[in-house]
Amino acid sequence: MTKSSESPELVVVTGASTGMGAATARELARRGFHVLAGVRREADGKALLADGIEPVILDITNQSHIAALVARIDGDPRQRALRALVNNAGLPCAGPVEVVALDEWRRLFEVNVFGHVALTQALLPALVRSKGRIVNISSLNGKVSMAGYGAYASSKFALEAVSDALRNELAPHGVRVVVVEPGGVKTEMAGLGLTSLSRLSARMTPEQTTRYGALTQALPAHVAAFTEAGVTADIAARTIAKAATDRRPRTRYTIGAMTAFLIRAARFLPDRVLDRMTNSDLRKYYPAGSAVARPA
């Protein structure tokens, strides 16, 4: 992908306030792009402001924010092309399918799926003109779902499906669509999901507590261990930037050795074998002495 130091092409990165998004904005700016970095608050933008990074207030579920971003790109004073859109914004969620409230499911899909679709639809005219690129940040959970992660995984499975359709629809028009699938990454996002999990546990009925109490107690330790074993946001950002800039990109990039292994295993292993693998790992974090139901 070509760029000029005199007139660097534009790249949009959503969810750039912290973590992978902020690291990706910095990495792409370092590579010579002018990054429109989507943030939710003015303070986040000030912390991110640097050469090549222009913070923009962007809630991807807010149509007026999206319209303002389109106007900023279409009215760019230097008439720079939009080279890539990195759909990174997202919400975490943990908890059993039965007890995650429907409003939480809807909010999760509003951000993790519909918000990305809305922004992609709005920016596609500019991306088609430039023969640019869309990079959708999925997850290991976009390919492998397990107990306690159903809602989040569902939203990422949906983003994977949207990406596959877009890749085929846009290939004739010169727009590449790439998926990045991170596993554990050392960011603040995991902690946000656990905050909602503690509220969910407090709302469970006695019957639900009997069914899922041990699981909900295990999830924080499981998430913490997975995150701690993961890569830094800066390492993840280098893979995302590669997906955005490779001349002949792959359709998918994974981040982390365990992620790559599990995604490959999910393609070939029978469902029940994969279930035993994921449940065995999760059971290590169950409270001592708790009864653990085995899958049929």
273 is a domain residue:
no
Residues 6+ apart with CB under 8 A from 161: none
How much is the pLDDT for 227?
86
Q: For the whole model, what pTM was predicted?
A: 0.92
Q: Which residues contact 71 (CB under 8 A, 6 or more apart)?
A: none
In a domain, 199, yes or no: no
CA distance 263 to 31: 30
Angle subtended at Cα 47 by Cα 43 and Cα 52, rounded to the nearest 5 degrees: 120
Distances (CA, A) of 171 to 136, 164, 178, 254: 16, 11, 11, 22
Q: Is 152 a catalytic residue?
A: yes
Distance CA 110, CA 262 (A): 27
Residue 250 forms part of a structural domain = yes
Residues 145-188 have pLDDT tens digits of 999 999 999 999 999 999 999 999 999 999 999 999 999 888 77
Question: Does residue 207 form part of some domain?
Answer: no
Residue 211 belongs to some domain of the structure: no
Answer whether residue 261 is part of any domain. no
Of 20-24, 46-50, 184-188, 247-251, the range with the lowest mean pLDDT is 184-188
User: Residue 191 CA to chain centroid, in angstroms?
Assistant: 15
The mean per-residue pLDDT over the stretch 7-33 comes to 96
Rounded Cα gap, residues 290 and 214, in angstroms: 6
148, with CB counted inside 10 A (0-12, 13-18, 19+), is buried
118 vs 121: CA distance, rounded Å: 5
* In contact, 263 and 191? CB cutoff 8 Å: no
pLDDT class for 4, splitting at 50, 70, 90?
A: very low
Q: Which residues pair with 10 in a beta bridge?
A: 34, 82
Domain of 134: which CATH number? 3.40.50.720
Task: Give the chain's domain count.
Answer: 1
Of the residues 149, 152, 212, 253, only one is catalytic, namely 152
pLDDT at 66 > cutoff 80: yes
Range of 180's domain? 10-185+233-255
